[in-house]
Structure formats: structure tokens, C-alpha cells
């Protein structure tokens, strides 16, 4: 691994693929990743920068793409993520979430004890799927899980039915707005580039 790049970038996720997707098509879809890594093929580029990570794997019998893969890079990797998400939208069988963590390669354990040191770590969640509705379903499920986990500290689960119904209503309104925009030929940017959601929340410093 090169330590002259600003970040160690970890891509983690599992995407259910259409049954007709084969290795050749998947290789082209994943080209933004393996090409960024400087590889000449998916077979070469699917290997993670860390030996104990499984890398990028295709399970044809299960029609499943699994990613636990790290590459050294810079902020320009975000363009590769844009391209990757748009490509995956074309072959995904259902909605899925991909987590991407940018670890500051120049920030070490000694810096953690220095109050003036600031890590450039970043974390984003990307959503892909065959349709905007499929992407929203994944977003909805994650949000409901987060809300329930938070509120169950103070309320019984049975008391949160109204809260969940309110979340569902918000997503229904968003989907209606999206459908209306598509009818007049206007694709929202949030779905045009494959990003369903972004977050600046921090993940732990350790990759594993």
C-alpha cells in the first residue's frame, strides 16, 4: 500500500444483482474501482490493499456482489463512486447501501492524544437500486431502525407505531414528488448521480 496518498478508502457493501448479470458485465460495471486502483482487470483490482480483507467478490449462484475492499487515494475517488453507483443502478436487483470510509493516512494514534490535531476522516452512505422507489425503501428501513433504536431508550416499542407511520408518510411524499418531476422530464440530482444520501459522521479509526 502506498502511504503517499492522503486517504485509505474502505468500500463496504453487498448488492443483489439481476440473475442475467455475468462476470463480463460486472467487470465493466466495477471498472471505476479497479481502474482507480491502477489495475488492468477486475481480477487484479479486486484484491484489497489489506491482506485480511476479502476484497471484491462475485457470487454467481447467489447473484451477489460483496465488497470489503480498501484502496489508497484522494478526494478524486468520489468521482469514481459517482460512476460506480450509476453503473450499479443498471444491474441491481433491489436497493442496497454501500458504506465508504475515508481514513486520514497521515493521522496516527499519537495524533489522537493531541487536542490540536484534527483528522480528515469522512464517512458516506451511498444507495443504489433499480428504481428510485427501491433506493428509498432502503433509506426508509435504515431510518426507521435508527429512530426506533434511539426512541426505545425512552418509550416502549408499541408506542412508536405513529412515529414509524410518520416516517413512511415522509418517504411517500418524497416518492410522489420524484414521480411528478420525472413526468415533466426533470431528474433530481440526488438520484442522477447514484447518491441516495451522504453523511459526515465519523467512523472508528480502525479499519477492521
**pLDDT score at 183:** 59
**pLDDT score at 199:** 39
What is the grid cell recorded at 191?
A: 438520484
**pLDDT score at 2:** 45
CA–CA gap between residue 49 and residue 1 (Å, rounded): 6
Task: From first to last of the 208 residues of the chain, give the pLDDT tens digit.
Answer: 444 579 999 999 999 999 999 999 999 999 999 999 999 999 999 999 999 999 999 999 999 999 999 999 999 999 999 999 999 999 999 999 999 999 998 766 554 555 555 668 899 999 999 998 999 999 999 999 999 999 999 999 889 999 999 988 988 888 888 777 765 554 444 443 444 434 333 343 444 4
| DSSP H or E stretch at residue 72 | strand 64-73
The DSSP result for 108-119, as a single string, is -HHHHT-TT---
**pLDDT score at 21:** 97
The residue among 64, 69, 80 whose CA lies nearest residue 31 is 80
Helix axes 132-151, 161-183, angle to 10 degrees: 160
| CA 155 to chain CA mean position, Å | 31
**pLDDT score at 68:** 98
**pLDDT score at 180:** 75
CA–CA gap between residue 193 and residue 89 (Å, rounded): 10
Amino acid at each position: 500500500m502506498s502511504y503517499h496518498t492522503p486517504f485509505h478508502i474502505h468500500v463496504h457493501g453487498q448488492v443483489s444483482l439481476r440473475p442475467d448479470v455475468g462476470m463480463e458485465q460486472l467487470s465493466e460495471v466495477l471498472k471505476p474501482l479497479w481502474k482507480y486502483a491502477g489495475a488492468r482487470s477486475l481480477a487484479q483490482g479486486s484484491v484489497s490493499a489489506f491482506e485480511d480483507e476479502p476484497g471484491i467478490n462475485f457470487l454467481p449462484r447467489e447473484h451477489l456482489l460483496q465488497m470489503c475492499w480498501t484502496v489508497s487515494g484522494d478526494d478524486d475517488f468520489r468521482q469514481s463512486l459517482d460512476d460506480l453507483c450509476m453503473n450499479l443502478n443498471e444491474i441491481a436487483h433491489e436497493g442496497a447501501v454501500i458504506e465508504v470510509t475515508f481514513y486520514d493516512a497521515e493521522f496516527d494514534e499519537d495524533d489522537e492524544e493531541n487536542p490540536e490535531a484534527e483528522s480528515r476522516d469522512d464517512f458516506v452512505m451511498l444507495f443504489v437500486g433499480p428504481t428510485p422507489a427501491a433506493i428509498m425503501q432502503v433509506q426508509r428501513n435504515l431510518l426507521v431502525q435508527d429512530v426506533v433504536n434511539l426512541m426505545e431508550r425512552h418509550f416502549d416499542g408499541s408506542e412508536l407505531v405513529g412515529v414509524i407511520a410518520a416516517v413512511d408518510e415522509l418517504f411517500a411524499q418524497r416518492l410522489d414528488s420524484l414521480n411528478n418531476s420525472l413526468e415533466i422530464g426533470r431528474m433530481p440530482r440526488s438520484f442522477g448521480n447514484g447518491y441516495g444520501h451522504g453523511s459526515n459522521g465519523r467512523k472508528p479509526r480502525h479499519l477492521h
